[in-house]
Amino acid sequence: MTQTPLPYRDSTADLQGILVTDDATSGRRPGIVLFPDARGIGTHAIACAERLAGLGFAVLVADLYGSGRTAPDVPGAIKLMNELRADEERWRGRAQAAHLALSGHDAVDAMRLAAIGYCFGGTTALELAQTGATLAAAVSFHGGLTSLKPDRAAHIKAKVLVCHGAADTLVTMAQLASFEEHMSRTGVDWQVNVYGRAAHGFTNPELVDAALPNHAYDAAADRRSWAAMLGLFEEVFGLKLR
């Protein structure tokens, strides 16, 4: 497995993503933009990217904050996330820059792209889809759902999968219901998987001993949501992944 720094830029910042590929895969392959959680690029995002690279994808772990900046703790992550979200055009432009950087890479088939994300990254993947970006699929794992605008949702070209924990107190079932209502007004191909007893961050094994309020790892929800994503990728890319 190879991790290669991939510099790119949006209108305001130099960005430092990481492209993860498997040397055993040659030629152009489907590409996935992976948006990490609010802390920025970290071990969880890289581990997920490596799993996907091992299945034959080229994966760009996107830089959310510029210069590869990460947050040292939860308060720092919330600060960085809120600063980015407060400037909606900058946020959307940052997601689009990652999409453009991946689509232009020599290892990537620009006609076969997807976006996924975790927590704030899941919200960002959906935000990218709302720009009308050329994506076959967009997947959110325990991501926020309140940024979706009914008028913008109609621009989504991707097939959308939202994986949500029923016990998530940060992204409530009421917010999920609102998301579903908005999506139902569009012609988008979308689906929602809800995992019983799963809390926010359910895909991240780092939470096992973290004692972080309102967050918890759930092995079953992690396994099932990953399988759901692979099922969608099999469908949109015509692959056999499981």
Question: What are the structure tokens assigned to 229, written together?
Answer: 């994503």
If you ran DSSP here, which 8-state letter would residue 41 be given? S
What is the block-wise mean pLDDT of the chain (242 residues), using blocks of 10 residues?
A: 97 96 94 98 98 98 97 94 96 98 97 98 97 98 88 94 98 95 94 98 94 94 98 97 86
181 burial type by CB count under 10 A (0-12 exposed, 13-18 middle, 19+ buried): exposed
pLDDT score for 63? 98
Supply the DSSP string of 91-157, one letter for each residue: HHHHHHHHHHHHHTSTTEEEEEEEEEEETHHHHHHHHHHHTT---SEEEEES---TT--HHHHTT--
Q: Residue 237 in 3-state DSSP?
A: helix
pLDDT of residue 148: 74
Q: Which residues of 220-241 are buried (b: 16+ CB within 10 A; e: fewer)?
A: ebbebbbebbbebbeebbebee
pLDDT of residue 219: 98
pTM over 0.85: yes
Give pLDDT, residue 242. 77
- State the pLDDT at residue 149: 77
